Structure formats: structure tokens, C-alpha cells
Amino acid sequence: MWLLLLLGILAVVYLYRWNQKRLILPNLTNKYVLITGCDSGFGNLAARQLDRRGLNVLAACLTTKGAEDLKKEASRKLQTVILDVTDSQSVSLTANWVADIVGDKGLWGLVNNAGISLPTAPNEWLTKDDFFKILNVNLLGVVDVTIKMLPLIRKARGRIVNVASIAGRLTICGGGYCMSKYGVESFSDSLRHEMAPFGVKVCIIEPGFFSTQVTDAKLQRECAKKMWTRLPEEIQRSYGQQYLEKYCSIADQNLATCNTKLSLVSDCMEQALTAEYPKTRYSAGWDAKLLYIPLSYLPTIITDFLISVIYPKPVQKA
């Protein structure tokens, strides 16, 4: 009896959430959305996808070529701007540009998509500048852009969509990438509480490992080799050449398992911006839903063991 009652409750919850997901906001053609990192990857696809839905897309690209290429594949409504999220002056100029366009309507949606994943390597192989390079884009850039856009978003009682990662739940590699994504999670949570009284919703997208963009995976091996060559001889001896080879082989495995279906992430962005009742967190990819997020709730001793099985161990002791 209790089992049937539990199944009944789960069925009601599922149907309720399914029905909420189907409800789409009206008047999408009157809403403005700013997306960062639209040169390629998730941001580029999301810009074209939302443009087709009729939203007024303001696509921020890092390069002029990226902006020009995007315009060729979108409607005339889509507008582009050159934005370096690590440059506060560039962010301020973009905020003024957006304000002039949206006027009294305000900015309905902000998608903080711009990000990098390299340099990534064992922590001891990296320098402070290597950590800062990633944190400056993935975390501080998100903070700067969001804060400068908040007055426009509050005016529209709109949405903020931050692209984090399952690496913001479970640390899977050394370097600044996981640190930055943990920071995005924390910033998003605090922002959600602060913005709730203003009617602003904050959503987090957590792509799975297999949703990683292929270009990043291709560069991982080269990055590891570059970091290795600049290491002192003592550190190289401590880890051993076999460690480097095993680490690079993992990069090759990552490339082989990458999912080229970027719409797994862009669909989450679209749903977060257009749904009447958006979710707080979106998990993109089966591995995020069924593997990494469940792992993040397990006792540390279990996750440590599983990670130790995957990653190489030094063949010599210091």
C-alpha cells in the first residue's frame, strides 16, 4: 500500500512538472536577450536558436569575425557587439549600448555563457597566472557583466542564466576551471535570493562532461604537454614520463566521448528564458543527470576512490 502511495505521489509530481515545462511566456517578440560568448559553441547556437524563436537577440562576441559570421546565419533582428568580459570598460560600454536599445522595456534575459577551460593540468604544474586566466573569464567576468546589467534586468523583471558545469558540483581536474564553476554556483545562489523580491529569476545550467565542446578537448593534450615542458626537472622526476602519457591519454578519451550535440545546452538556455516557470537548475546531458550529480552527493571516501581509479598516479616518489 505504501509503495503504491509513493508511486502515486511521484506520478503526480512528474505530471505537475511536465505541465509547468509546457507553459511558454507570451509576447516573446517583445523581449530582449543578451548572450555572451557568441563566437562559437553554445552561445553561437543559442543566439541563432533564440533568434528563430522571435526574440530580440543581442549577441556579444569577442572577435569581429565571430560577429560577422553570426550575422550571416541569423535574421536582421539579431544585433552584435564586441565584448571582452575581462575588460570592465568593455563591459560598461556594452551595458550602455544595451540600455540604448532596450529603453524602458529593460533587458529580459542575460545569458552568461562566455568561458574558457584551459589551461588545465595538475595544480603543481600551473602558476598563479594560469589560475587567474580562467577565473577572470569564467567567474569575475560573469560577476562584472551581471552587476552592470542588473538595473536593466530588474526593470524587465527578467531572467539571468549562468552557465556553470557539473565541475561546479564535483571537482574533476586541477586548475582554475572547477574553482570558477564552483564560484558561479555560489554567485548564482546568492543572486537568486537577492533578486527574488524584484521578480528576477536566476537559473543555472550545468552541462555534463560529455557535453563539453570538442575544441576544448582537442587542446587539452597540447596544454598538458606545454605545462610539462616548463616544469623544473625535480617535478618531472617526481611524476614520471608515464604519468604525462597517461594524462594525455585521458585527454584523448575525453575527445572520443565528447557529444557534438550542443543543443543539449542551448535547449536549456531557451527553456530557462521562455518558460513561464523556469527551473532553478538545468542538467544538460545524461552523464550529468545520472552520474556526476548523484556522485556529488555520495560520501567523500566513495567519490575519492572513483576519481583515483580514473586519474593516473605518479610512478616515482619525490
Dihedral, 14, 19, 24, 25 alpha carbons, nearest 10? -100
Supply the pLDDT for residue 307. Answer: 82
Alpha helix segments (H runs only) across the chain? 2-22, 41-52, 64-72, 88-102, 128-135, 141-156, 176-195, 214-229, 233-239, 241-257, 263-274, 286-287, 293-296, 300-310
Name the stretches of the chain with pLDDT < 50: 318
Supply the pLDDT for residue 318. Answer: 45
Supply the pLDDT for residue 249. Answer: 78
Supply the pLDDT for residue 197. Answer: 97
- How far apart are the C-alpha atoms of 283 and 290, rounded to whole Å? 10
Supply the pLDDT for residue 286. Answer: 85
Place of cell 587567474: 132
Supply the pLDDT for residue 177. Answer: 94
Phi, psi angles (nearest 5°) of residue 2: -65, -35
- How far apart are the C-alpha atoms of 225 and 55, rounded to whole Å? 44
41: left (phi over 0), alpha (psi -120 to 50) or beta: left
Q: What is the pTM of this model?
A: 0.89
**Among 161, 167, 195, 194, which Cα is nearest to 181's?**
167
Amino acid at 202: V
C-alpha cell at 122: 595538475
Supply the pLDDT for residue 257. Answer: 56
What CATH superfamily is the domain 28-213+261-305?
NAD(P)-binding Rossmann-like Domain (3.40.50.720)
Cite the active site residues: 177
Domain ranges for the chain, please list them. Answer: 28-213+261-305, 214-257
